[in-house]
Amino acid sequence: MFDTAESTAALVVQSAWKRGLAPDPILTVDDWANRHRMLSSVASAEPGRWSTSRTPYLAEVMASLSATSGFELVVFMAGGQVGKTECGLNWVGYVIHHAPGPMLLVQPTVEGAKRVSKQRVDALIESSPELASRVKDPRSRDSGNTQLMKEFPGGVLIMTGANSAVGLRSMPVRYLFLDEVDGYPGDADGEGDPVALAVQRAATFVNRKVYLCSTPTLKGFSRIEAAYLESDQRVFEVPCDHCGQFSQILWRDIRWPKGKISDAAWHCPACDGIHPEYCKPALLANSRWTAKAEVMARRWVFTCPAYTARG
């Protein structure tokens, strides 16, 4: 009897040890989101299954956040409401389900972190059976699920604000999600720049991954702009239906007849070809990211400095 029990225990230990040695999955964040992410009515105006095809410009951002990507730091500078935070939330789900490890999510303030936890992270977990099975119900005893901490097998998600130095230096992390960095204070409780404090948390992990995203604020004073200028400065380009030239969609090229804003259209900067609103899905489907600068290290990537695809 004892031999059988010992053998069973040995097999359990051996199995757990093998799982610990298993390499990260050959799966990208956008693949994971397409398979498992469900948007709830609490967090989205269009609840239902996530589809990257609706926002194809996010695919490469999420691919760069994947365990299969060699990039260490991903910088996403873009206009409001284009999916920056949703990329990060898909990454959170991917980490919990497929590539577990310690993760830190930083919002501009602790109150903001609590709000994101309740309205978006909880909704992310509850709407996905794969995540709900890994993060215990907060009502259970010793669940490890609190407002600012979500434990799961192989890792933990900690959420804090950039205004809390204690939260920023609480633990070493493999994954670091810095959301809306242009809203961070210049100093965290007298201990220095919150971005630098947070990045230091990932210093001990050779396989670390850091994601900075934000809508830019004042030119020359913007954290996300400074990070973007040190990256390969990729821009999102679409092909003109008339001349085939790939160009970035910029506000200066959006025009409409006087008094008819509903007839606004994108004009190709190369040939002045007109693309009405109904052309946008096809333009996005055939788009590409183009690097505009070279970097010394492979650790830096992107991204878009404007308002790619709002509409």
Residue 55 sits in the same domain as residue 139 = yes
Of the candidates 14, 174, 27, 20, the one whose C-alpha atom is nearest the C-alpha of residue 97 is 27
User: Which candidate, 289, 75, 91, 86, places its Cα nearest to that of 182?
Assistant: 75
Residue 173 lies in a domain: yes
Average pLDDT on 250-260 reads 94
CATH number, domain of 66, equals 3.40.50.300
Domain match, 257 and 115 both: no
pLDDT of 24 reads 57
Which tens digit of pLDDT belongs to each residue from 3-37? Answer: 565 566 566 556 655 655 566 567 999 999 999 99
**Do 266 and 211 share a structural domain?**
no
Give the distance, in angstroms, between the CA of residue 299 and the centroid of all CA atoms in the same chain: 16
Statement: residue 147 has pLDDT above 50: yes
Residues 101, 137, single domain; the answer is: yes
Specify if 230 maps to a domain.
yes
Range of the domain at 48: 25-234+293-301
Q: Which residues contact 94 (CB under 8 A, 6 or more apart)?
A: 27, 29, 32, 33, 65, 66
**Residue 20, in any domain of the structure:** no
For the stretch 42-64, pLDDT in tens is 666 677 899 999 999 999 999 99
Whether 228 and 244 share a structural domain: no
Q: Worst-scoring range by mean pLDDT, 89-103, 106-120, 157-171, 264-278? A: 157-171
Question: Are 180 and 214 a contacting pair, CB within 8 Å?
Answer: yes
Residue 117 token pair: 């936890």
* Selected residue with higher pLDDT from 298 and 141: 141
pLDDT of residue 145: 86
Query: What is the arithmetic mean of pLDDT over 143-163?
Result: 92
Tokens 């059988």 correspond to 4
State whether 143 and 266 are in the same domain: no
Q: Can you give the pLDDT at residue 169?
A: 82
What pLDDT, in 10s, does the model give residues 111-138?
Answer: 999 999 999 999 999 999 999 999 987 7
Q: Are residues 189 and 265 in the same domain?
A: no
pLDDT in the model for residue 258:
93
For the entire predicted model, the pTM comes to 0.85
C-alpha–C-alpha distance, residues 119 and 122, integer Å: 6
Q: CA torsion sign, 48 to 54 to 58 to 64?
A: positive
Q: Are the CB atoms for 198 and 164 separated by under 8 Å? A: no
Distance between CA atoms of 225 and 229, rounded to whole angstroms? Answer: 6
| Res. 107: pLDDT tops 60 | yes
